[in-house]
Structure 1
Amino acid sequence: MTLSSLSEAEPMTDLVAVVTTTGSRADALRLAHLAVEKRLAACAQVSPIESVYVWQGAVQHEPEYRLVLKTTAARRAALEATLAQAHPYEVPAILTVPLAHANRAYADWVRAETTPA
C-alpha cells in the first residue's frame, strides 16, 4: 500500500482472510476453486511452505501449501464450514485473520464477489 493509497483505505473493514494448509498443491487448488465458485471467497492465493509441528507425539517437518482466502465477516462461517467438510486433513488448521485496513476499491470488489447470486 502506498502512502497516497492510505487515504483511500477503509480504516476498519468487514474483510477477513481465512488461512489453511494442505499437504498437496492439488488439494489447495481444489479448496480454492470450491470456495471461489461458491462465492464464499473472492480470491485465494496458494503458496508452498514448510511446516514443523507435533503430530501423534512426534515432531514432523513436511512441505505444505498455504491457502489464503479473502472474504467478508458475513461469509466467514460458511467458508470455514465448507473448508472443514472438504479438507483432507483429520484436524485442519482453519484460521481467520481480520483485515483492519484495505484499499476501498479492493474491499468493494471482495464484497461484490462474495455476495450470493
Structure 2
Amino acid sequence: MPTAFITAPPDAAAEIARTLVDERLAACVNRVSCRSTYRWDGEVHDDEEEILLAKTTDNAYDELAERVEALHPYDVPCIERFEEDDVLPAFAEWRGDAVEAER
C-alpha cells in the first residue's frame, strides 16, 4: 500500500488533508510543518509549507493524486508515491478498511 508525499502551503494543507479523508481517498493524513527551499521560474524561493503524508491504497492512489491536483493552489504540486516494503499488518488492514469500505 502506498503513502503519498505531498507538499502544500499551510493555508491549503488543512483543506486538502480533510477532503482526502472525508472522501475516503486516504485513511489518515499527517501534516508536518516545514520550510522548503526550491527553484521556480528562475528564482530560488524559501517558503513555509506543510508536508502531507496521505496513507492510501493502490486502488485509491490515482484518484487521490487527481483530487490533490484539483484542490492544490500550485501550478505543479509535489505529489510523490512511496511504496511500503514492510508495514504492520494491523495498520495495513485498518488503512484498507478506512479507504476501501465504501468505494
Say yes or no: TM over 0.5. Answer: yes
> How far 1:116 sits from its partner (Å)?
4.6
1:16-64: CA deviations, max 9, x gaps?
110111111x311100110001101000000111111101101111111
* Alignment root-mean-square deviation, CA: 0.9
How many angstroms apart in 2 are the aligned matches of 1:72 and 1:101? 14
What's the secondary structure of 2:74's corresponding residue?
coil
- The answer on 1:20 being equivalent to 2:1 is no
Using structure 2 for the length normalisation, give the TM-score: 0.95
Q: Which aligned segments of 4 or more residues in structure 1 are displaced greater than 4 angstroms?
A: none
Measure, in 1, the Cα distance between the counterparts of 2:94 and 2:101: 13
- Unmatched 5+ stretches in structure 2: none
- Does residue 51 of structure 1 match 2:36? yes
For residues 116 and 84 of structure 1, the distance between their equivalents in structure 2, rounded to whole angstroms, comes to: 24
- Shift of residue 112 of structure 1? 0.3
Aligned residues: 102
Classify the secondary structure of the residue corresponding to 1:114: helix
> Which letter does structure 2 place at the counterpart of 1:18?
A
If you compute each CA radius of gyration, which structure gives the higher value, 1 or 2?
1
Pick the aligned partner of 1:103 from 71, 76, 88: 88
Give the counterpart of 1:66 among 51, 62, 65: 51
**What is the TM-score of this pair, normalised by structure 1?**
0.84
